[in-house]
């Protein structure tokens, strides 16, 4: 970025007196940043390391003894955990797809149309993101109790779609607002119908926003604990199962699955980055 | 903008854009839409708006409704009676937990900002071509579930864990030294878990600052520190505000950290609400506690905006 270039240029132009002072203090912040990044990743290191921990029992303990692949080969050994993982996936996929469809439409409208109710809609979207999760969880459970709806898979799915919509909507809205409207006008000048202009010009341009919204919704659903804990009843997802197990000690398979999900997440993010980098290069 | 516009960064940039002052309004020309087009807008908005009403607005109304019910599960269930006494009961029986939650969340927020600000500042001002990579590394914790990370801290902070175990065997720490099950463990768990939420709005706000302003200040004989205090710090206030809200509000309602890392002497309000809802089925009082929590958070956000007095802050609190 140009701003950085400016900074670098002036740093080297400054006199020797400044450079000397820089030598003393210049390392504090980068070292601090490095330490912070290690700190942020610390529990992830522990998780990966302890998926290889050799132990006598079936529960993770704080002491690390090197090393076994046993937990990796026995990763399906705990039925409750398998069930919870299955539920997580069976919730996250449909929830993120539906939330992406609905949220994209909201984001599209908010980003480009002025209409009565735009302000309130933006406000509701903001509230849905800013509200403490436990309040939303209590509210959803209150509704299910009052409506005498059985809670379980259905209520989890319903709630996950609900809290993801707002996140997709703001992601898409930002993309739509950044759009150059003249491109669409040009398409219409070239005799494209509004629908053609949308599918051939607008949609490809906002697609990165939609994909980002989908991934965000998927991760939010997969990670959600509080709302699932409230509205899930006896049905567990991966996080709620781990929370329940943490009272008596988590089995090492949790670390195995945590490591797998972590690797998949990093891989997807990396791929998304590469793809969007490629497409932005092509566009340039 | 090149790749910086994409991917993970984009997610959080837009997520915090709201808190930093909302998106730009539509252009003037769009404000004169034909009636037909406006109908199209409502039509497109419809399904999502209906879903949000069902999954967000109606539940919020119904939690207030539940909070005004009276009765008991054993005496034929709850019925709506405008029972405001629930609020008095809930508050008086739980005020120590509210106080503790505010204290822990407040401490965690202050520590998070103290840790995140220098990091965000260095990345946005000095990291150069490493900016995106470092930013991504801050997000890495998000790829592991919040609950699992907290459970791992439980092992990290354990008495004979990978952190204290070696220190104790080297004699650097007394054998009876322990952190787990103490307020320190809970506060540090909250700090850790919400740190990315503190760092991201700060990073976005600092990254938005035109770096030439700092150069201009230095040209006008400001020292580095003066340039920071008079230019960078004021311009990053919307980001600070967003960071406080994004950290403090979820931290206050959190019950995972105090359950996994704490003891029965670190009980927070979230645990009380969870127990009343899920174990005791005392819906009215649990709902009343949730409503108190929601209103409290709203008041804090608005008060903060008022003290701050900036338009950004008002927008961020949704007051504008």
Residues 10-69 of A with CB under 8 A from B: 10, 29-30, 32-33, 36-37, 39-44, 46-47, 49-50, 60-64
> Cis peptide before A67, with omega less than 30 degrees from 0?
yes
CB atoms B253 and A133 under 8 Å: yes
Q: Count Cβ neighbours within 10 Å for each residue of B264-300 and write b for 16 or more, e otherwise.
A: eebbbbbbbbbebbeeeebbbbbbbbbbbbbebbbeb
Q: How far apart are CA A54 and CA A70, in angstroms?
A: 8
Confidence of residue B107 (pLDDT cuts 50, 70, 90): very high
Contact status, residue A246 vs residue B260, Cβ threshold 8 Å: yes
Q: Which two tokens stand for residue A157?
A: 């799915």
**Residue from B24, B145, B300 to probe the interface with A (highest A Cβ count within 10 Å):** B145
List, as one string, the DSSP characters of B252-306.
Answer: HH--HHHHHH--TTS--HHHHHHIIIIIS--HHHHHHHHHHHHHHHHHHHHHHHH
Residues 233-262 of A with CB under 8 A from B: 238-240, 242-243, 246, 250, 254, 258, 261-262
Residue B22 pLDDT exceeds 50:
no
Residues of B in contact with A125 (CB under 8 A): 18, 52
Q: How far apart are CA B97 and CA B107, in angstroms?
A: 15
pLDDT of residue A241: 93
> Over chain B, what is the mean pLDDT?
79
**CB atoms inside a 10 Å sphere around CB A79:** 8
Residues 61-80 of B with CB under 8 A from A: 62-63, 65-66
Measured torsion, CA atoms of residues A126, A132, A138, A144, in degrees rounded to the nearest 10: 30
Residue B233 pLDDT exceeds 70:
yes
Q: Is A2 exposed, middle or buried (0-12, 13-18, 19+ CB in 10 A)?
A: exposed
pLDDT of residue A24: 64
Residue B24 pLDDT exceeds 70:
no
φ, ψ dihedrals at A249, nearest 5°: 110, 130
Coil, helix or strand at residue B147: helix
User: In a structure prediction context, what are the per-residue pLDDT tens digits for chain A, which is 284 residues long?
Assistant: 344 444 444 444 444 555 555 566 678 888 898 888 888 888 898 889 888 888 877 777 777 778 888 788 888 888 888 999 999 999 999 999 999 999 999 988 888 777 777 778 888 888 888 788 999 999 999 999 888 888 889 999 999 999 999 989 988 888 887 777 788 778 888 888 878 888 888 888 888 888 888 988 998 898 899 999 999 888 999 999 999 988 888 888 899 999 999 998 888 878 877 777 776 666 55
Contact status, residue A225 vs residue A239, Cβ threshold 8 Å: yes
For residue range B242-290, what is the model confidence (pLDDT) as tens digits?
888 888 988 998 999 998 888 888 889 999 999 888 888 888 889 999 9
Contact status, residue A197 vs residue A178, Cβ threshold 8 Å: no
pLDDT of residue A284: 52
Q: How far apart are CA B41 and CA B141, in angstroms?
A: 38
Reported ipTM: 0.81
Which of B112, B185, B187, B192 lies closest to B154, judged by CA? B185
Confidence of residue B7 (pLDDT cuts 50, 70, 90): very low
Please list the residues that pair with B78 across neighbouring strands.
Answer: B71
Residues of B in contact with A261 (CB under 8 A): 143-145
What interhelical angle do B35-52 and A79-112 show, nearest 10? 160
Angle at A51 between CA A46 and CA A54, to 5 degrees: 105
Q: Is A156 exposed, middle or buried (0-12, 13-18, 19+ CB in 10 A)?
A: buried
B211 close to A (CB below 8 A) = yes
Residues 68-97 of A with CB under 8 A from B: none
Choose between B66 and B16: higher pLDDT: B66
pLDDT of residue B307: 66
φ, ψ dihedrals at B72, nearest 5°: -150, 155
Angle at A204 between CA A197 and CA A100, to 5 degrees: 110
Residue whose token pair is 């409502």: B42
Confidence of residue B156 (pLDDT cuts 50, 70, 90): confident
pLDDT of residue B75: 67
Residue B228 pLDDT exceeds 60:
yes
CB atoms A47 and B152 under 8 Å: yes
Residue whose token pair is 């400044």: A18
pLDDT of residue B291: 93
CA closest to A39 among chain B residues: B192
For residue range B193-213, what is the model confidence (pLDDT) as tens digits?
999 888 888 888 888 888 888
Q: How far apart are CA A50 and CA B161, in angstroms?
A: 11
| Model pTM score | 0.81
Residues of A in contact with B4 (CB under 8 A): 1
pLDDT of residue B170: 81
Q: How far apart are CA A53 and CA A67, in angstroms?
A: 5
Q: How far apart are CA A45 and CA A193, in angstroms?
A: 54
């Amino acid at each position: 970025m140009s701003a950085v270039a400016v900074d670098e240029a002036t740093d080297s132009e400054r006199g020797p007196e400044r450079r000397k002072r820089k030598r003393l203090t210049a390392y504090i912040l980068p070292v601090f940043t490095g330490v912070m990044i290690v700190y942020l990743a610390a529990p992830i290191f522990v998780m990966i390391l302890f998926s290889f921990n050799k132990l006598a029992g079936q529960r993770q303990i704080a002491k690390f003894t090197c090393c076994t692949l046993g937990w990796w080969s026995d990763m399906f050994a705990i039925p409750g955990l398998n069930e919870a993982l299955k539920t997580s996936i069976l919730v996250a996929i449909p929830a993120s797809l539906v939330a992406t469809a609905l949220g994209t439409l909201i984001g599209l409208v908010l980003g480009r149309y002025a209409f009565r109710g735009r302000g309130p809609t933006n406000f509701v979207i903001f509230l849905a993101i800013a509200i403490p999760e436990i309040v939303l969880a209590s509210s959803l459970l209150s509704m299910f109790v009052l409506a005498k709806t059985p809670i379980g898979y259905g209520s989890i799915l319903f709630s996950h779609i609900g809290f993801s919509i707002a996140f997709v909507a703001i992601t898409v809205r930002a993309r739509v607002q950044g759009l150059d409207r003249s491109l669409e006008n040009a398409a219409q000048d070239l005799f494209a119908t509004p629908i053609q202009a949308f599918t051939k010009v607008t949609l490809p341009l906002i697609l990165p926003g939609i994909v980002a919204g989908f991934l965000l919704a998927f991760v939010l659903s997969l990670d959600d604990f509080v709302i699932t804990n409230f509205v899930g009843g006896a049905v567990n997802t991966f996080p709620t199962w781990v929370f329940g197990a943490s009272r008596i000690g988590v089995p090492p398979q949790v670390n195995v699955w945590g490591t797998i999900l972590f690797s998949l997440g990093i891989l997807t993010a990396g791929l998304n980055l590469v793809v969007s980098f490629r497409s932005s290069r092509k566009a340039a | 903008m090149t790749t910086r516009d994409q991917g993970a960064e984009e997610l959080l940039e837009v997520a915090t854009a709201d808190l930093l002052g909302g998106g730009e309004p539509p252009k003037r020309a769009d404000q004169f839409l034909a009636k037909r087009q406006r109908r199209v807008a409502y039509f497109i908005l419809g399904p999502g708006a209906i879903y949000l009403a069902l999954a967000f607005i109606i539940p919020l109304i119904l939690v207030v409704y539940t909070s005004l019910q009276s009765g008991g599960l054993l005496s034929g269930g709850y019925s709506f009676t405008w029972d405001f006494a629930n609020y008095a009961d809930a508050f008086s029986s739980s005020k120590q937990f509210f106080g503790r939650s505010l204290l822990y969340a407040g401490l965690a927020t202050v520590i998070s900002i103290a840790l995140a600000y220098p990091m965000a500042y260095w990345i946005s001002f000095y990291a150069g071509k490493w900016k995106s990579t470092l930013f991504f590394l801050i997000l890495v914790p998000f790829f592991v579930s919040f609950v699992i990370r907290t459970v791992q801290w439980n092992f990290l902070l354990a008495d004979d864990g990978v952190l204290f175990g070696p220190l104790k065997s080297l004699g650097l720490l007394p054998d009876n030294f322990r952190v787990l099950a103490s307020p320190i463990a809970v506060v540090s768990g909250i700090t850790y878990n919400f740190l990315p939420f503190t760092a991201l709005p700060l990073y976005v706000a600092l990254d938005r600052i035109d770096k030439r302003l700092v150069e201009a200040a230095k040209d006008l004989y400001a020292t580095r520190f003066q340039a920071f205090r008079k230019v960078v710090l004021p311009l990053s206030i919307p980001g600070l505000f967003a960071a406080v809200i994004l950290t403090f509000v979820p931290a206050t309602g959190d019950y995972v950290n105090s359950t996994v890392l704490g003891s029965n002497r670190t009980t927070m309000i979230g645990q009380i609400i969870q127990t009343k809802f899920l174990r005791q089925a005392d819906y009215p009082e649990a709902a009343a506690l949730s409503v108190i929590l929601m209103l409290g958070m709203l008041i804090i956000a608005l008060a903060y905006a008022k003290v701050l007095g900036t338009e950004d802050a008002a927008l961020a609190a949704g007051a504008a």
